[in-house]
C-alpha cells in the first residue's frame, strides 16, 4: 500500500508491508516504558516513583485538584491515582480534603514537603531529559510535541 505522496504505508497495521519499527506507537510505547523505568530507578533512593513524580508535577502546575482531574492529567485510572495519592498523603507529600462544593469529591494539594521532594525529583530527572534531548534543537522538540498533541487530540475525537 502506497499513499498519494508515494510513501509506503508500512506504519499501518493492516498493510501488507507493515513493520512494527515504522509504527509510531511502537516507539511511543518503548519510549514511555524506558523513561518510566529510568525515572523510577533515579527516584527510588528519594522515596519517589515516576507515578508519584507525575502527580507532584501536575499539582505543582495546576494547584489544588480533584482526584478525577489528576487522573485525567496523568492519563491513569482513578482507582490507581486514588491509591497513590493516599500513600503520598501518608508520607506527608500531599493533603486531601472533601470538596466544600461537592461532598463526593476529594481534592488534593501538594504540601511543603511535597514541593521539596519535587525539587529533588526535578533535579534528578532534569539530567535524564538533557540526555534524551541532547542532539535535538528547540524547534525539533516543539515539533515532536505538536505531532504527539495532534495524535492525542485525534484519538480523543474518536
Residue 18 gets which letter from DSSP?
-
Q: Is residue 44 part of a domain?
A: no
pLDDT band at 149 (very low <50, low <70, confident <90, very high): very high
**Picking from 7-11, 51-55, 65-69, which range would have the lowest pLDDT averaged per residue?**
7-11
19-35 mean pLDDT: 90
Residue 55: all three cell numbers together: 502527580
Contacts 24+ apart (CB under 8 A), 38-44: 38/128, 39/125, 39/128, 42/124, 42/125, 42/128, 43/121, 43/124, 43/125
What total of structural domains would you count in the chain?
1
Residue 94: all three cell numbers together: 500531599
Measured distance CA(97)–CA(109) in Å, rounded: 9
Q: Is residue 61 part of a domain?
A: yes
- Report the first-to-last Cα separation within the chain, whole angstroms: 24
The kind and range of the H/E element at 30 are helix 24-43
Q: Is residue 152 part of a domain?
A: yes
Angle, helices 50-62/24-43, rounded to nearest 10 degrees: 90
**Picking from 17-21, 28-32, 36-40, which range would have the lowest pLDDT averaged per residue?**
17-21
Instruction: Find the domain containing 111 and state its range.
Output: 49-156
Give the global pTM: 0.84
β-strands 106-110, 94-98 pairing: antiparallel
Q: Is residue 3 part of a domain?
A: no
Q: What is the pLDDT of residues 131-143, one digit of tens each?
A: 999 999 999 999 9
Q: Is residue 89 part of a domain?
A: yes
Q: Is residue 82 part of a domain?
A: yes
Position 16 scores a pLDDT of 77
Q: Is residue 140 part of a domain?
A: yes
Q: What is the pLDDT of residues 95-144, one digit of tens each?
A: 999 999 999 999 999 999 999 999 999 999 999 999 999 999 999 999 99
Q: Is residue 96 part of a domain?
A: yes
CATH number of the domain within which 59 lies:
1.10.10.10
Distances (CA, A) of 79 to 43, 75, 76: 23, 12, 8
29-51 mean pLDDT: 95
Amino acid at each position: 500500500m502506497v499513499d498519494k505522496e508515494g510513501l509506503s504505508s508500512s506504519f499501518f497495521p493492516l498493510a501488507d508491508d507493515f513493520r512494527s519499527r515504522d509504527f509510531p506507537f511502537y516507539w511511543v510505547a518503548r519510549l514511555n516504558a524506558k523513561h518510566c523505568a529510568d525515572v523510577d530507578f533515579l527516584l527510588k533512593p528519594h522515596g519517589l516513583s515516576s507515578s508519584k513524580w507525575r502527580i507532584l508535577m501536575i499539582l505543582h502546575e495546576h494547584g489544588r485538584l480533584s482526584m478525577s482531574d489528576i487522573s485525567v492529567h496523568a492519563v491513569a485510572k482513578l482507582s490507581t491515582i486514588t491509591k497513590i495519592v493516599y500513600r503520598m498523603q501518608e508520607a506527608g507529600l500531599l493533603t486531601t480534603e472533601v470538596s466544600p462544593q461537592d461532598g463526593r469529591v476529594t481534592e488534593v494539594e501538594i504540601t511543603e514537603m511535597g514541593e521539596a521532594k519535587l525539587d529533588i525529583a526535578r533535579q534528578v530527572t532534569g539530567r535524564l531529559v538533557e540526555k534524551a534531548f541532547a542532539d535535538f534543537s528547540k524547534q525539533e522538540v516543539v515539533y515532536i510535541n505538536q505531532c504527539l498533541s495532534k495524535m492525542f487530540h485525534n484519538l480523543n475525537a474518536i
